[in-house]
Amino acid sequence: MPRWRTLGAVSLALALAGCVRLPPPSKPAQTAACRVGTAWSTAYARVRRLGDLDAEHVRVLRYQVTAKPKRGRPCGSLTLDKTLIVRRGPGPLRIVEIRDFYAHGRLVADHRAFIGHELTASGVYKARVTLPIPAQTPPGRYQIVSLLYARWGQGAPLLIARAQTRFTVVR
């Protein structure tokens, strides 16, 4: 591990343990960070290629979403790690990701994004997206449900994958 990473990890560990006080964040930076909503886009990167299927076919072998850390605070952030293993045929395919946020079973926010241009061939795809926790977020348990829909041409969208994860917001 490079020396600067080791020093950073030690500094972070000491700060989290309460041994070292960090300077408080300036008001403008904190306010700007809290103004960002939940509409962050996900950029998928293929890490391994798989064999293709026939034209106009798609099969999701695995779709997993994990929130890290599992506990967050308002004005903080979470990281969503996503793994998608997909086999698809050649040709144009529109894939839409719908990300819904629930608090105690009630929908509180959502985000929609077209990701078909990133999933151009069969393979293993990984993505990481940072989600800020807005300042007005009440404490409680939250659930993120991510749905993938595919559509060929003018046909009706078809649900091809579903994944979910949970996290807690504390004060």
SS3 state at 139: coil
Which residue type, as a one-letter code, is found at position 31?
Answer: T
pLDDT at residue 65 tops 60:
yes
| Residue 160 placed within a domain | yes
Domain that holds residue 103: 23-169
Phi, psi torsion values for 127, nearest 5 degrees: -145, 150
pLDDT tens digits for 68-101?
999 999 999 999 999 999 988 777 778 899 999 9
- For residue 93, the model assigns a pLDDT of 79
CATH number at residue 154: 2.60.40.10
Bigger pLDDT: 138 vs 25: 138
Count how many domains the chain has: 1
Q: Decide if 8 is inside a domain.
A: no
H/E element, 11: helix 3-17
Contact predicate 139/71, CB 8 Å:
no
Assess if residue 72 is contained within a domain. Answer: yes
DSSP string of 27-55, one letter each residue:
HHHHHHHHT--S------EEEEE----ST
Higher per-residue pLDDT: 51 or 62: 62
6 in a domain, yes or no? no
- Angstrom distance (rounded) from CA 70 to CA 136: 19
